[in-house]
Amino acid sequence: MSSGSGEVARTHLISQVGPDLEGQEVGLAGWVYRYRDLGSVVFIVLRDATGIIQAVVRSEEVDPSSWEAAKRADVEASVKLAGVVRLDPRAPGGVEVRVTRFKLVGESPDFPIKKDAGVEFRLDKRHLDIRSRRMWAVLRIRAEFMAGLREWFDSNGFIPVEAPTFVSAAV
């Protein structure tokens, strides 16, 4: 189910939005990482594969369908938004997006992982747990390490061998 104003095209990844784009309009797509509704203002920390950014939706700066969509968004909802980049030292990365159009692409049920969740529960919900900043950072470090290791093997004449998986019942 989607709602909000018209089509919003992604023009940038979050990691591409910085102080150099102040005053310019950007289109972003991602998942709601944090959500705060203060009545006539909604603060959303948006996440994509490259990072996070704060988006501010003000009722007087968006059309009614965008406002309604922003009010219905919740953690892990899939959204698209367009807005103007503004400097704000309080925002993650020092910039925020003042939203002019907001589209709720996919709603999300209540996010089941709370701060006090145990290891077993987190492993059971692994597909959601890897969306946390800590796990995301661990995966990025691991990917960089594996890329460097692969590069070293390639430059030293090694070739990859992909052996079949051995299962004890099959051996």
Q: What's the pLDDT tens digit per position in 59-104?
A: 999 999 999 999 999 888 999 999 999 999 999 889 999 999 999 9
Tell me the mean pLDDT in the region 38-65. 94
Residue 57 domain flag: yes
What sign does the dihedral 43-60-48-18 (CA atoms) show? Answer: negative
Residue given tokens 């189910």 in the structure block: 1
Tell me the mean pLDDT in the region 138-161. 93
- Is the pLDDT score of 1 beyond 70? no
Same domain, 98 and 125: no
Instruction: Choose among 101, 42, 44, 102: nearest CA to 71.
Output: 42
Q: Report the alpha-carbon distance of residue 88 to residue 53 in Å, rounded.
A: 11
Residue 14 domain flag: yes
pTM over 0.75: no
Same domain, 22 and 101: yes
Tell me the mean pLDDT in the region 106-125. 70
